[in-house]
Amino acid sequence: MKNERMKKLKNGLKKVLWFFIFPVLCAVVLRVFFFEMYKIPSSSMEPTLIPGDYIMVNKMRYGARLIKFGKLHRENKLEYIRTPGWGSIKKGDVMVFNWPNYGSLYGKKPDMFGTFVIKRCFGLPGDTVVIKNDGLKNEWMEIPEKQNNLFPFDTTLHWTVSYYGPLFVPGKNKSIRLTPQNARHYKDVMMYEGYKIEIRNDSVFLNKKYSTTYTFTHNFYFMKGDNFYGSQDSRYWGFVPEENIIGKAVIVLFSNGEEGFMMKRFFKLIH
């Protein structure tokens, strides 16, 4: 009799635990593999997205990122693998990604995964980016046209935010001629791919080996905000590695910004 009561009690506890654990497991699986919600903090994607928008990001579009726990445990280094996706990245996609922290590559503990950022894909691997913008200026706008703070930080190019490029976007198995200028332009990318760059006169050395060409081993993307003059994007900090991409922004769930809830933005598709 006592054993039967204990058995019933254990079965009851299992059911209660499963009642609470199962929804949590489902939520974790959905968040890791399929969808996640993000809040838009700035005006860099106006008018497409405004501060206070809560958006849904589809992670399976490009494949969900999974942490390499073995690498994290053994080397305390954050790296990801990606599951097969339902589609591929296309020019014009609005994406959430980790800001690429290239500066960390020069320190003792590299960490390329900065804060969450949302921008539109403007350049795919292998593309050549050219920006010529004549139509967005107004007399009252103060346009930041400084040249020394634009990627790739080469004032001899005389680029501005309005007239930018041509700039080649690195892609896996794509090659460039390795001149001293190219080495300076792509040094962060090559550092990311495991090379140390040294320039001696007109010669370039990668990991102490004289080199005249370079073949990239990863895909990178050039991102730009829809708010042309109000966005810190790839024009300022460079290319986004594919590993940093989280997913595609697909819909505005609701908006709760300075003006409160905006009914017209409920379940608004993101294009």
pLDDT on residue 176:
96
d(CA 172, CA 146): 32
pLDDT on residue 8:
62
pLDDT on residue 191:
95
pLDDT on residue 139:
42
User: Minimal CA–CA distance to 241: which of 131, 111, 135, 139?
Assistant: 111
Which structural domains are found in the chain, ordered by start?
Answer: 35-127+221-269 (2.10.109.10)
Say whether the peptide bond before residue 47 is cis (omega within 30 degrees of 0). Answer: yes
134 Cβ contact list (under 8 Å, min separation 6): 162
Q: What is the pTM of this model?
A: 0.85
At residue 169, what are phi and psi to the nearest 5 degrees? -95, 120
Consecutive 10-residue runs of the chain (271 residues): their mean pLDDT? 61 61 57 76 95 93 81 70 88 96 89 94 97 62 61 92 95 96 96 94 94 96 95 96 95 88 91 92
d(CA 201, CA 140): 46
pLDDT on residue 261:
85
pLDDT on residue 223:
98
pLDDT on residue 4:
66
pLDDT on residue 141:
46
The 3-state secondary structure of 90-110 reads CCCCEEEEEEECHHHHHCCCC
